[in-house]
Structure 1
């Protein structure tokens, strides 16, 4: 069984834990299986909307898919979650990603 299969099984065994889904999405993204990764990021967001680590990487994944407006929307959603959580560091990182993606749009 490869890592992706292992993470799929782990996620199925722990449906109340966001981390296995996050790990699966990241592993798919690292394998450049961006569409599959996005499906998992979307499942993660639906099941765990306050799971902050997923927003930055989901935005980057959407950008890799060429879905710039969707990426910006996901980043902005993450920025809202970070601010509500009082996580200034993550809010700053997401703000920088938004600025970078917006700058690329104007090039």
Structure 2
């Protein structure tokens, strides 16, 4: 059984566990299944829009999929969310990431 399958088993027991949802999305990304990771991250954002790490990671997935406009948009929303909930560190990291995309073209 893969790590992702174990996480999915745990999630079945507690479907509202945000960290497990995030971890599964990250496992899909690690496995190279970017479309599945994207879907999982988007689903997580709908259920838990204040879970700030999701914005950064979804921005990375979009970048890996060469969807730079989508990456910029999700990072902008993530920065706004981080600032609203008082997570200055995450806002700063996403601001730097978004700036690197702007510099790249």
Q: Give the TM-score normalised by the residue count of structure 2.
A: 0.95
Deviation of 1:17 after TM superposition, in Å, equals 1.6
Deviation of 1:12 after TM superposition, in Å, equals 2.4
- Aligned-pair Cα RMSD in Å: 0.9
Separation (CA, whole Å) in 2 of partners of 1:25 and 1:44? 9
Deviation of 1:33 after TM superposition, in Å, equals 1.1
Equivalent residue of 1:15, what SS?
coil
Q: How many residues align?
A: 105
Give 2:71's aligned residue.
Answer: 71
Equivalent residue of 1:32, what SS?
coil
Structure 1, gaps ≥5 residues long: none
Give 1:6's aligned residue.
Answer: 6
Residues 28-43 of structure 1 aligned to structure 2 (within 5 Å): 28-43=28-43
Give 2:92's aligned residue.
Answer: 92
Give 1:25's aligned residue.
Answer: 25
Deviation of 1:14 after TM superposition, in Å, equals 1.5
State the 4+ residue runs in structure 1 displaced beyond 4 angstroms: none
Q: Give the TM-score normalised by the residue count of structure 1.
A: 0.93
